[in-house]
Amino acid sequence: MKYPLSMRLLHWCMAVIILGMVWAGWTMVSMDDAVPAKFSFFYPWHKSFGMLILMLVLVRLVIRARSTLPTLPQGLAQWEVQTAKAAHGLLYTLMILVPLAGYSMSSSFTESDGVFFFGVNLPELLPKNDDRFELFRDIHKGFAFALLGVVALHALGALKHRFIDRDRSKDVLSRMV
């Protein structure tokens, strides 16, 4: 049994967006502030796609709650089942917390023009406070690295079952393609 088509499409779209966001985040923070593209291109698009991720994960959770999902393959060891469940919980949690921390970061930074969502200015939820901005920046960065680590483990686990185990009773990837 496969995941519903809507969940499979969201999964792969979000995977591409999240990996692109990590690249964009690394790129923009390493750029000199004198480079115009840093603030005119990278930051606005990073914020827009961050809010898109937040919205998509919420849609994904609704679809997940309303769908019949495939069970994990019977051939998996108990520790693999527990690890997969923990990783999925962490993935969903971090896909919510990373954008929320970024939103909080932008809302609280005194020099920020706010968060734009593809041209629409979203309301700032927090008062301007640069000390709070620094806290949210550290949280956003830490959660983003944690998300990248869990994504890597998730992908490596799926690839291990497909290409190293070569055991159909352990193949989790076939449920998502």
With 90 as the cut, is the pLDDT of residue 43 above it?
yes
Reported pTM:
0.94
Per-residue pLDDT tens digits for 57-115: 999 999 999 999 999 988 899 999 999 999 999 999 999 999 999 999 999 999 988 88
More confident residue, 171 or 18: 18
- What is the rounded average pLDDT of the residues 29-41? 95
Which DSSP string do the residues of 89-157 spell out, in sequence order? HHHHHHHHHHHHHHHHHHHH-TT---EEETTEEEPP-S---HHHHHHHHHHHHHHHHHHHHHHHHHHHH
With 90 as the cut, is the pLDDT of residue 7 above it?
yes
Give the domain range for residue 75.
5-175
Per-residue pLDDT tens digits for 115-155: 889 999 999 989 999 999 999 999 999 999 999 999 999 99
On the CB side of 24, CA atoms within 13 Å amount to 19
Q: Which of 109, 99, 72 is nearest to 88 (CA)?
A: 72
Q: 70: which DSSP letter?
A: P
Question: SS3 of 115, please?
Answer: strand
Predicted local distance difference test score (pLDDT) of residue 114 = 83
Predicted local distance difference test score (pLDDT) of residue 59 = 97
DSSP H/E element including 124: none
Q: At 161, which amino acid appears?
A: H
Give dist(CA 138, CA 96) in Å, integer: 16
Question: What's the domain count of the chain?
Answer: 1
